[in-house]
Amino acid sequence: IAVTVLTVICVIVGRWRKKKNDVKMWITIAFFALCTVGTAADLLGFYIKGNSDGLLNTVGMFLVYAVVMGAYSTVQIRRQVYIDDKTGLYNQSRCNEVLADPRPLKASVGLIMFDLNNLKVVNDTMGHEVGDYLICGFATALKKNISRKCFMGRYGGDEFIVIVRKTN
């Protein structure tokens, strides 16, 4: 128990000093702490009752940890599959899924397509870093000026789409 407590403290201090605020790390630390408390309760129960039926506390905490980490990992994988790293908008795969949805529309929908003109010229003359800066700037402008209820995605290199639902 003492080793676990010291390990958790060292990890917390190390992450705090490096200013790394990782959700996965905090979930792990919380469950290590709960498992430590569960183990202490199990040991105390063993010495008081004389049997080890209290081991279920620790095992239960590990099972809860496994379920929570599985759910968190699923969310992270989904984000990696559908979100464009540069812009934070939906990527082309997600755009294609939304556009190919076979369900009939129940309300009016507007589709807006954007193409950043002459981005190839910018990339060729000023470099891809400048082109990426322009792409990210445009994505930021979309996020600031388009309702979060609308679907926004980066359809290609310099192509973006916005789907506005319930519009005329």
Which residues are marked as active site?
A: 158
User: Got the DSSP string for 112-149?
Assistant: EEEE-TTHHHHHHHH-HHHHHHHHHHHHHHHHHHS-TT
Residue 28's φ and ψ, nearest 5 degrees, are -60, -45
Q: Helix or strand or coil: residue 109?
A: strand
113: left (phi > 0), else alpha (psi -120 to 50), else beta? Answer: beta
Contact call for residues 156 and 118 (beta carbons, < 8 A): no
What is the H or E stretch that residue 162 is in?
A: strand 159-165
